[in-house]
Structure 1
Amino acid sequence: MSAATVRNPAVRRLADWSAERLRALADDHGTPLYVLDLDRVRQNYRRMADAFPEAEVYYAAKANTARPVLRALADEGAGIECASAGELARVLDAREAQCASDARAGRDDPRAGVAGSRVHYTAVNPPDRDLDVAVRLADDHPGLTITVGAADTLDRLAERGYDGRICLRVNPGVGAGHHEKVATGADAKFGVPYDRAADLAEDATARFEVVGLHAHAGSGISGEDLSAHRELVSRMGDLAREVESQDVELEFVDVGGGFGVPYRPDEDPLDLDAVAAATREALGEVDATLAVEPGRYLVADAGVLLTAVNTVKEAGDGAVVGVGAGMTTLARPALYDAHHEMRNVSADAERRPDREVTVAGPVCESADTFGDHWLADPERGDLLAIGNSGAYGYEMANQYNSRPRPASVVLDGDDVRVARRRETIADVTAVEPEDQA
């Protein structure tokens, strides 16, 4: 095992986090609290870039849009893939009027300052207001690529006077992922039908600069799903060769991301080098450059969620442990039945016997549970750490039950910075007109 491998292991387990440092962060910033380690994000990106040395790596920003994350990855050389106008506004220079409004309101500039040529906008059935923003930003940032998944969207862009860079999203008919709700590759919602894609790409050259093809199998793809990933890539290689034969000069073929991470301690990490080799082989010879869009893989194990125990209730042969975090803080367990490993990081936890308990949040829903976990016997006031929370954690946090969203901090070596302050009830109600009070 090389020194680089030791410094940059393929997965960071929950047990690798310093309990002492997590307790200090909770003391300083309160709970629930998202913690994200930028050094780990950088390590994950470098591993991905090393595995795909001849490919373009675009970070799927929807996994975690915290400004320090976007800036760190952009500094490492990553492009950014955006799924909405809001994400575009985070990474590009937003409208001057909006910036001035933010300054007057005392809000920090949320932009990451990424060049337009390093940004892809990949929307699904984009609302009119999103397209308006995308076209305006494309005018201000030459090189921005807009990915289109329907012929209607091409027409809507043309109606707005857009004639710039287009990537065509294709539905390859192959889906995979950790849950049926995220197996996008076989879902008709995503992309133009595979058998119509070549003709649509050729026709689009009359109105736009067609620069790429895109497909995505799904999210959280693991070893058992890799055959579907290879099939998707193979189909995209065949399509690229057909499109290139029609004198369409493609810059890239984007085969998406979805690279999975192990959420359970007994699961092995993804063999990224093997995946990269299989991807290159499946794509075959094309003139275009391969592009990949990792999201979860770069940030999941870089983050934990800290929450305090507020209730321990004996129930039959077991116990229900109530915590401050819930489905409004981390939605994945309620939405996907997702497992997130837990650890009691209280000062004396190691001296206690382990006990299987049900961990539940404060929302009045049966779905508001983190499932059953073996923990050092929990007591009221204990601090629990929830692993692999860096991806789709804060991004899916919401205000259901009028609950303010949690704070988020980033670690950069020894430095700690607040990425998002803790919301207050006043923040929750701020959008409501005062005359309705």
Structure 2
Amino acid sequence: MADPSPAVRRLADWDTDRLESLADEYDTPLYVIDLDRVKANYRRFSAAFPDARVMYAAKAHTGRAVLEAVLEAGGTIECAAWGELKRSIDAGAGPNTLQYTAVNPPAHDLDYATDLGAENPGLTVTIGATDTLERLAERGYDGRIAIRINPGIGTGHHEKVATGADAKFGIPYEEVPEVAERVRAEFDLVGLHAHAGSGVLTDGLAEHCRAISRVGEMARRVGDLEFVDVGGGYGVPYREDEPPLDLERTAEMVRDAVGEIDAQLKLEPGRYVVADAGLILSTVNTIKEAPDTTVVGIDASLATLIRPAMFGSYHPMVNVTAPERDHHPVTVGGPVCTSADVFAHDRPVARLERGDTLAIGMAGSYGYELASQFHSQPRPAEVALEAGEDRIVRRRESLEDVTRVEQ
């Protein structure tokens, strides 16, 4: 049966009355994650690649409820750190199904992965440096290895996520065949991996697929592989006038770019699965008329959502309390003492008054993951929506939580 859910869930599609009641019941700032939408997004993406193995990239949102939803939808999980491995297992993932992509891994990461692999030989470790091979061998690991390729082509919504052209990530392209021989002599070489960048929409697919084609080419050179993993990076439209990713066209272009390979295709969507499933609710506390703008102060900050400060990212906004009011351009900022703590400049929003609830959309991916206690602010609570019900899945931190680890 066809998936009835829309290709993208806009902020305007959320029930504002329900959001207002959530803000009243659970206080703000508040993260809201719709688990039904998470499952629908994962299934839609998987349906576009019926012959591939689709692994959710945990780093987009590692909340246990989200990981459990992905597993319920039939997914497996790709992890980039030891904490993600543990959280995935705690959520019910079989350790033998996990893939750990090591990027300059600290010692404790490799210790944990080595111990896990000793008891679960199906665990796959992806390496992006020959140093990692040496460090794994020192720990007695001789199991499944995938080689991360640096294709020399970066794509995505911002230079800070264009990993395919960043020397930090992966083995230089022409060195891969030699490294593959070394891996086969000491480990079990099972795959090749690459990730070109993040937040790719339909108009960026051509360059994205140019990077993927290099992975397919290298797979044919290396030969005898179990899988070829072309990573994730598939985006969602944050702006209201941007069209959603054309999944059918994406699947066709990716398959054509990879070409004929005698191996299973793997993909790692993260943002696509969770971005439009999450938002932030915040309360307006200050209205200030300045010479060039109206400043709206809210109780969310860059400690709540750092993407606008870090990437200059656009996040849609809706006045949940009174969406029917006339729209006026405002500058929306938080309580952190830096000019970077601004969510929008001159953004038309239904007129805001002190005490109103403001929703900030497309916050499901890299939102709570990048939240911090900057300014000694406790991190917010998170509420999950599922099957018409809501529940707390992450409690609000207290001031005591902020200082609990100090001594």
TM-score by length of 2: 0.98
What is the letter of the counterpart of residue 230 of structure 2? V
Q: How far did 1:27 drift?
A: 1.1
- The answer for the alignment partner of 2:212 in structure 1 is 233
> How many angstroms does 1:318 deviate by?
2.2
1:320 corresponds to? 295
Cross-structure match for 2:49: 52
Q: CA deviation at 1:140?
A: 2.7
For 1:304, what is the secondary structure of its paired residue?
strand
Counterpart of 1:402?
376
Shift of 1:387: 0.6
Structure 1 runs not aligned, ≥5 long: 93-110
Aligned to 2:354: 380
**1:338 alignment partner in structure 2:** 313
Structure 1 letter corresponding to 2:282 = T
Structure 2 residue aligned with 1:256? 231
What amino acid sits opposite 2:402 in the alignment?
V
Matched residues, number:
406
Q: CA deviation at 1:217?
A: 0.5
Letter in 2 for 1:71: E
Question: 1:138 maps to what in 2?
Answer: 117
Partner of 1:12: 9
Q: Which residue does the alignment assign to 2:247?
A: 272
Contact 1:175 1:187 (C-alpha < 8 Å) held by counterparts: yes
Shift of 1:233: 1.4
Q: Which runs of 5+ in 2 are unaligned?
A: none
Which residue, 371, 392, 395 being the options, matches 1:418?
392
CA distance in 2, matches of 1:208, 1:220: 34
Q: 2:277 maps to what in 1? A: 302
**Which one-letter code corresponds to 1:162 in the other structure?**
Y
1:377 & 1:416 partners in 2: Cα distance? 29
Quick check: 2:334–2:342 contact (8 Å CA) kept in 1?
yes
Q: Residue 401 of structure 1 aligns to which amino acid in structure 2?
A: H
SS in structure 2 at match of 1:12: coil
User: What code does the residue aligned with 2:310 have?
Assistant: L
Match of 2:108? Answer: 129
Q: CA deviation at 1:260?
A: 0.8
Per-residue CA deviation, residues 237-287 of structure 1 (Å, 9 max, x unaligned), is 11001111xxxx311100000001100000000101101101111111111
Aligned equivalent of 2:134, options 143, 155, 173 = 155
Amino acid corresponding to residue 282 of structure 1 in structure 2: A
**1:33 partner amino acid:** L
SS in 1 for 2:8: coil
Residue identity (%): 58
Q: Distance in 1 between matches of 2:83 and 2:48?
A: 31
Contact 1:217 1:228 in 2 (8 A): no
Partner of residue 209, structure 1: 188
Amino acid in structure 2 at the alignment position of 1:61? A
Counterpart of 1:361 (choices 314, 320, 334) is 334
Q: Given the alignment of the two structures, is residue 78 of structure 1 paired with residue 53 of structure 2, yes or no? A: no
Partner Cα distance (2:153, 2:349) in 1? 39
Moved over 6 A (4+): none
SS of 2:86's partner is helix
2:386 is the counterpart of 1:389: no
1:212-246: CA deviations, max 9, x gaps?
Answer: 100001110122321221111111111001111xx
Which residue identity is paired with 2:367?
A: G
Deviation at 1:417, TM superposition (A): 2.0
Corresponding residue SS for 2:132? helix
In the superposition, the TM-score normalised over structure 1's length comes to 0.91
Instruction: Please say if 1:218 is aligned against 2:215.
Output: no
State the superposition RMSD in angstroms: 1.0
Contact 2:286 2:297 in 1 (8 A): yes
Shift of residue 74, structure 1, vs aligned partner: 1.1
Q: Could you say which residue in structure 1 is the equivalent of 2:401?
A: 427
**Alignment counterpart, residue 37 of structure 1, candidates 1, 17, 34:** 34
CA distance in 1, matches of 2:306, 2:265: 33
CA contact (8 A) 2:121 2:144 kept: no
